Structure 1
């Protein structure tokens, strides 16, 4: 409600996450679905979308993962943002993730990032979003600088359709 309106649609594969969101946003359409399989166009129903917020899973990009193998399926979640953006063309898309997403690249056969291909997938994703007519800007922000009780650094991106200037 911080923007003066309620969240229209929330999608998450995790039932607990959806239950918590329902508690905080009872007027929202809640979908417990795979983000790649959901037909978001069906729910948008041709209406204008001013803002889409996306926070793809960050665990397979985070340095908190240590040296453990990454999961390819989780690492490709930003592509779901592209899939839905291509179909509904929101005016603005805000994405939030860990800062390490900027190093997103292919994994070797053991699930480890390939150092010499660092940022390759990230750059492909940004280029794909730009191909839809979006300007791109990003910042790394520390939530504690804005009053939150955490010092974690997060990556925030804003994709804004050029025709909406």
Structure 2
């Protein structure tokens, strides 16, 4: 049995990353998020953890340094100002700089491991090199990896930057992580609730947007009739606006994005994917509790999250590295 790796979770969201970390042998000590619904969700799922509802710049981490001794600092700084998902809105530098806010926590807790998760475009941030250099100044070897959650068994194609930093100098690459922990690819079909409890309406109805119909018709022209598929209902899409159910779901965002087209007596029917289905697309399941927020909030919780299987495999790899160094010390 592996030694438990205790961790502090900054920008913790609804705890999807923490769910994976726990599955990989982690134990959450302290978590922080500025969104009240995310904090409520995290507390519901990890009642043993201390969860703070506050912005990172308003917390002095040294007030907690005598209470917790984490092995890992798990962080997911705000990503909207790095992401193309924000559209044409200008980037918010204050949002970007939440990544810099992790350094007082490093000073306060001195963890061996620091994990920073963000969108790929964070590498284009003009302070990204400063972030790397500062982590190295604190004594960390920084391993930067672009990981696709689908390759770790998540039924979602979600590429994210993971910076896994180790004070003992271990090297971790995307290739080595996949070699040790690659999982079977899961399709979008696996997340669909086929019970019929979620009602669909006819695709062709008064008021349906022309662009929605065009996307659906492209899918029908390609697949034929009476084959279910997904359309991108809202948001920009560069792949025709639809996808089959036989590949992982495209990236879940913070808006209600995906519509499922099914057939009833040769009539195409449409409904949106439900939060419970998006939860599965994040690599967790309905045992992970979502609070009594509205539908929009639940979708946002998923879109802001970290896919659980990815953090699980990173924690498993950390265990493997530590066992190779100290086989007796980390075995119980």
**What TM-score range do you get, normalising by the shorter chain?**
0.7 to 0.9
Q: 2:59 aligned with 1:53, yes or no?
A: no
Q: Deviations over 1:52-103 (max 9, x none)?
A: 1000011000121222211111010110112211232110011111000000
Q: Is 1:17 aligned to residue 38 of structure 2?
A: yes
Q: Indicate the SS of the match to 1:136.
A: strand
The answer as to 2:143 corresponding to 1:122 is no
The corresponding residue for 1:118 is none
Bigger RCO of structures 1 and 2 (CA < 8 A, at least 6 apart): 2
Q: In structure 2, the residue corresponding to 1:42 is in which secondary structure?
A: helix
Q: Secondary structure at the match of 1:139?
A: strand
- Give 4+ residue runs of structure 1 displaced > 4 Å after superposition: none
Whole-angstrom CA distance in 1 between matches of 2:90 and 2:66: 40
Larger mean Cα displacement after TM superposition, 121-130 or 47-56: 47-56
Cα distance in 2 for residues equivalent to 1:128 and 1:4: 28
How many pairs were matched up? 150
CA displacement at 1:132 relative to structure 2: 0.7
Q: 1:24: Cα distance to partner?
A: 0.9
Q: Where does structure 1 lack aligned partners over 5 or more consecutive residues? A: 106-120
- The reply to whether residue 76 of structure 1 matches residue 97 of structure 2 is yes
Residue aligning to 2:150: 144
| Residue 46 of structure 2 corresponds to residue 31 of structure 1 | no
Change (3 A) 1:137 1:4: closer
Distance 1:31 1:61 in 2: 25
Of the three residues 135, 142, 145, the one matched with 2:141 is 135
Match of 1:44 in 2: 65
Specify every segment of 5 or more residues in structure 2 that has no aligned partner in the other structure, as ranges: 1-21, 171-324, 326-332
Task: Please give the TM-score of this superposition, normalised by the length of structure 1.
Answer: 0.84
- Compared with structure 1, are the counterparts of its residues 42 and 154 closer, same or farther at alpha carbon in structure 2 (3 Å cutoff)? same
| Preserved contact between residue 6 and residue 27 of structure 1 (Cα < 8 Å) | no
| Residue of structure 1 in register with 2:116 after alignment | 95
Change (3 A) 1:61 1:123: same
Q: Which has the larger radius of gyration?
A: 2
